[in-house]
Structure 1
Amino acid sequence: MKELDLLKKHWNKDSDFPKVSQDDIKNMIHKRSSSIVKWIFIISIIEFIILNLISLLMPSSEVDDSTVFIEIIDYASIGFSLVFIVLFYKNYRSISVSSSTKTLMQGILKTRKTVKIYIYINIFMVIIGMFYAIFVLSHTNHYFDKLNNIQSSVLILAFLAFMGIFAGIIWLVYKVIYGILLKKLKYNYTELKKIDF
């Protein structure tokens, strides 16, 4: 973004500063947007590989009713990740080959929307997994049978607080990783809008 800000700052100030056409600026924004979406695609692949390696390294237990649901969540998570990796790649290809400003702007909006949906689905999957883990923990080991009403309420509230904090941490991680890239895409979109209209 620094190059674009520098061009705008010196557009009419300095006569020695090279004059750049709107097409040059559009090409610069196009190149930047393509690079950002490519990084979103690369990060999603790295995330997919790391999370699945962690999943493979986890100790396996005997298959029973409690582990079947966890396996379903795992496979669903893998499926969602693969679908989004394909969508990110399609967004990257769409932005890379777009010729018009309108197509580029649509591609930027589509990418931002796809990333946001991806983040919400991942957080939702984590919350479902945690709820189920608490359910299994409380029923298989009969922890709650040994507690009175106040103790079980405190334990449930502690679990819910932990889940909220954990989901918040995941959201913050996604916000940092993808948020920076989305902010740059939003900036590109705003600049294109100024040029096009």
Structure 2
Amino acid sequence: MSTLAKPLVPDWAGARRKCSLLPWAKELTAALEKDAIAWSKRNLIPSPSEPSGYTHHYFCQECGEPLVFNPDKPHEHLARACNRIYSGKDYDRAWFSLIHNTNVLHMERCAVLLNLGVQTDLARQEILKFAREYPARYPNYPISDFRHLPGRMMPQSLDEAVWCGSFLRALRWSGLQGDLDASQIEAINVMATMVVDLMR
């Protein structure tokens, strides 16, 4: 008998009810909608030739503040508190990690909106875009040059597993698996298997 726990299924009906009645839930939904619309205007999936790196580099060496993540500036990283601009490999690679993480957060955001009945066409389009494009590209990402438990798309295999878990959860919550053809489902299975293999 399997000891695996059943996947969490959110109470979407309860969430919809709260979002229609409670002011704070309405505000949260509006913020999710605004962010989803803004990110949908971008199509930033870093290519396999653009390796990611550790986000612990993404801080100002002078004031200690986190650098400003600007999706439009992959090679300019601003420390807002002191107006210093950083550049270089460590910062650029951290920026690519942040792009991958922001993309999967966008998928999760869209899955929530889809289940709330908000911006459903946009949410569906965005989830399917990433559900098709990431698995198709994934085998082309080389294993990272970081020595300890390297990832492919992310610097380390644990980062990769967390990212992949979020990707799969967003797709499951969306219920859009049936909109993918057999080759696209197979690509997702291959990606997930490759991520597991990195952890061995």
Q: Give the TM-score band, short-chain normalised.
A: 0.3 to 0.5
Larger Rg: 1
**Larger RCO: 1 or 2 (CA < 8 Å, sep 6+):** 1
Q: TM-score, normalised by structure 1?
A: 0.32
| TM-score for the superposition, normalised by structure 2 | 0.32
Structure with greater helix share of residues:
1
